[in-house]
Amino acid sequence: MDYQYLANTFSGGLINPISKIINKVYHSRNENPWLISGSPRSGTTWLAEVIASSEKSRLIWEPLQEGNPVKHNYVFSKRPLYLPDGNNQETDDSKQFFKQLLKGENLNFHTLRLVKYPRNILKTFKNERLIIKFVRGNGVVGYLYEHFNIPKPVVIIRHPCAVIASQLRMGRWDDHPHIDENLIKQYPHIKSVIENASSLEEQLAVTWAGDVLAAKLWENNIQIVYYEDLVLKGNVVLEKIFSEWGYNEVPENCLNKLNQPSSTSKYWSEDKSGMEKLKGWSEYLSDEQVSKISNTIKKIGINDYDDLTFLPKLNCR
């Protein structure tokens, strides 16, 4: 028996009715939610926590992961993708899932992170900004911006070798690559790359490249930022994000939070900063692994990073 699934289901049955009642009391509390997405281990938690420090806020975590039992009632791939041309097999059920999500009603142990932070349950009762954080949402958040009149979401991209090195250290990635069928329809050439990705690092590289392609399909509907820029010149990145959201300046709390590690940061990165932090993956991956990752993403058509500087190319920013 999956006790975690039962706990998530049971908790959702208790929490969501309360959230709906509070929504009627504070009928505008879910207006203009902020959405943040990116690949796993790309800095999404760090960015979400930095942005959340700007004002009192409620965070929903990873609604598209398997830990969210509500997701299992709908037909979503592990990396759902809606196409900008409108050629999607949308259902009333899937629309309802996202409507509920944007109302802050898709709540349970998983999406509130109650196991780690039990006090998050109190956020359910408060009139605070709604923030939704994804690691499987790059192909969805642009669609939500277009159809639900929300502020322009933020998608963070990080060097593929840095992402994959961190993923390999974490483990639990043996079911990759995660590629939605819509992405293969849009880019038929990636099918052969998927079929030939035999090593784990190549399979993870396919998923990373798919995340980037999905985001760029919606690039007019989202704000794309690079993790490396956030590390080296975070104030400039945040200025652009908050300016898009109608702020005249970056809240001071966010600038202070930039210097703190995220709640999911690991020991191998906490004592590093600047370029030392950005080059950390080179101490973990072998030359062969780096070559496999680089070749895989180039075959798919992603050329955002300079091989020598570890940084995103200027024309990609």
Question: Is residue 260 classed as helix, strand or coil in its secondary structure?
Answer: coil
> For residue 86, what pLDDT is reported?
76
pTM: 0.93
Other beta carbons less than 10 A from residue 260's beta carbon: 13
User: Cα separation of 303 and 314, whole Å?
Assistant: 11
CATH number, position 139? 3.40.50
> For residue 316, what pLDDT is reported?
61
How high is the mean pLDDT in each 10-residue block of the chain (317 residues)? 58 80 90 96 96 92 89 84 80 84 88 87 89 96 95 98 94 89 95 96 97 97 97 95 96 91 68 82 94 96 87 75
> For residue 178, what pLDDT is reported?
95
Domain that holds residue 265: 3-316
> For residue 3, what pLDDT is reported?
52
Question: Is residue 280 classed as helix, strand or coil in its secondary structure?
Answer: helix
> For residue 1, what pLDDT is reported?
43
> For residue 8, what pLDDT is reported?
62
Spell 209-243 as b/e; 16+ CB within 10 A means b: bbbbbbbbbbeebbbbbbbbbbbbebeebbeebbe
* Number of independent structural domains in the chain: 1
Task: Fill in the DSSP letter of residue 144.
Answer: H
Q: Which amino acid is at 50?
A: V
